[in-house]
Amino acid sequence: MDRWFLIFSTLFAVIAGVWGMISVHRGSRSPWTVSWMVAVLVCQLGFLSLRGQQRAACPLADFGEILVFLSWSLTLFYLLVGPAYRISLLGVFTAPVVMVFQAVALLPGILDSQPAKIVGGNPWHETHAATSVLGYGALALAAVAGVMFLVLDRQLKEQHLKSGLFRNLPPVRELLVSLERLLWLGGGLLTIGITAGFIMPHEGAALGHLLAAVSVWSAYALLLGVKSVRGLTGRRLSLLTVALFILSLGVFAFI
């Protein structure tokens, strides 16, 4: 039953992305993008709720669950940030990322077919896992906003000022404000997650994961520090945000 929630969530993400892109090419914004993404979120919650009951804990015990939790976090932050900053087109860029993450989770062997209950779980461990993945969701959305800025920048340089995509992209200022706030939000959540990681009891095998997480946190802290002290152009900030997120996905190799 839980897989059906995930299948429908992935299909809704496909519809949101395709419907949004068709509207953009026609030169208009689709008010349905947000609605489809709400449907994605509802199905994600259904999946995570069922898996949580089966695990008797936060469902982050296998790679597939981590991907779905990350997709849920990405969708949640989009619904909180996108419409609030009048950048609903962000959903057109977010939906394909959600689709890819969840499609990978649906591949055979990625999700445990018979999830076992987690016995003797530690609240610090769950805090570490949940807040870290939530932080990744915010950083993923920051990377999506960075891609949007780079697309807008390219459209301006090539003077494609009459294309449907250019007319529907949000103002540069709104994109950069949202991107920077998402970086701070993601960095804050990662800070909580890493702090909980140091507090929780852990074996030597978990040391590599913790060191990788600290490396990711340090890289984002450096980026935000340079942005605050010296400043960065929008293009450079966007490029670094996208590159850092792609590189930071390597931390999951240590899980």
Residues 136 and 245 in one domain: yes
Could you report the per-residue pLDDT of 99-149, keeping only the tens digit for each?
999 999 999 989 888 877 877 667 777 787 889 889 999 999 999 889 888
Residues 154 and 241 in one domain: yes
pLDDT at residue number 212: 80
| Cα 173 to Cα 86, 137, 143, 149, 240, distances in angstroms | 12, 22, 16, 10, 18
Could you report the per-residue pLDDT of 50-72, keeping only the tens digit for each?
988 888 778 888 889 989 999 99
pLDDT at residue number 253: 55
Domain with 137, as residue range(s), is: 121-255
User: Of 112, 133, 152, which one is at a domain's C-terminal end?
Assistant: 112
Which of 47, 233, 248 has the alpha carbon at shortest distance from 139? Answer: 248
Residue 98 pLDDT grade (very low, low, confident, very high; cuts 50, 70, 90): very high
Residues 135 and 197 in one domain: yes
User: Of 112, 133, 168, which one is at a domain's C-terminal end?
Assistant: 112
d(CA 237, CA 28): 28
Residues 135 and 178 in one domain: yes
Residues 89 and 149 in one domain: no
Residues 2 and 77 in one domain: yes
Residues 142 and 242 in one domain: yes
Residues 97 and 179 in one domain: no
Which of 228, 238, 40 has the alpha carbon at shortest distance from 154? Answer: 238
- Specify the number of domains making up the chain: 2
> In which residue are the tokens 């609605």 written?
35
d(CA 34, CA 190): 27
Residues 212 and 159 in one domain: yes
Residues 96 and 141 in one domain: no
User: Of 112, 147, 182, which one is at a domain's C-terminal end?
Assistant: 112
Residues 11 and 45 in one domain: yes
Which of 59, 37, 220, 205 has the alpha carbon at shortest distance from 133? Answer: 59
Would you give the DSSP letter of residue 84? G
Q: What is the pTM of this model?
A: 0.84
Residues 29 and 154 in one domain: no
Where helices occur in the chain by DSSP H, the ranges are 2-25, 32-55, 63-81, 90-105, 123-157, 164-168, 172-199, 207-229, 234-248
In this structure, how many other beta carbons lie within 10 angstroms of the beta carbon of residue 214? 15
Query: What percentage of the chain reaches a pLDDT higher than 70?
Result: 82
